[in-house]
Amino acid sequence: MWPPEFLEVMRPIVQALQDATALNRELSRRASAPRETRPTARGERPYRPSNPLHRSWRGFREDMQKAERTVRQNLHLQPTDTVSKLLIQQHSGLQVKTITRIMTLTYGLAASDWPPSTWPAERRPTP
């Protein structure tokens, strides 16, 4: 059997361990519980590009055409060669998904309206 002095010293330590274990259980339970989130529909607000240049038709068009020219120069492509969105991504860091999203959701272009050198100077009305 344990001496009474030892039990008196150990009692607060055991109590602290039990409290910590209970707190850990509660935190684990809360972390794994489903969270209340407000559902957001995609149609609540129009897509807005994070890049300030891409928030205007002129800025987006010029930036894409600049990226296209850069790829053509770096890879020594002929005027008849097509610069794909993947080549733009590899040379400028702009993601294909982001380019397509801006084209379709912000400016009403079809995903197949490529390359940027064929885009009109004036923005066409969105559908």
The pLDDT tens digits of the residues spanning 9-24 come to 999 999 999 999 999 9
The pLDDT tens digits of the residues spanning 72-112 come to 888 888 888 888 888 888 888 888 888 898 888 888 888 88
What single-letter amino acid sits at 71?
V
CA-CA-CA-CA torsion for 48, 50, 54, 56, nearest 10 degrees?
50
Q: Is 5 exposed, middle or buried (0-12, 13-18, 19+ CB in 10 A)?
A: exposed
- Write down the domain spans for the chain: 52-117
DSSP code for 102: I
What residues contact residue 53 under an 8 Å CB cut-off, 6+ apart?
59, 60, 62, 63
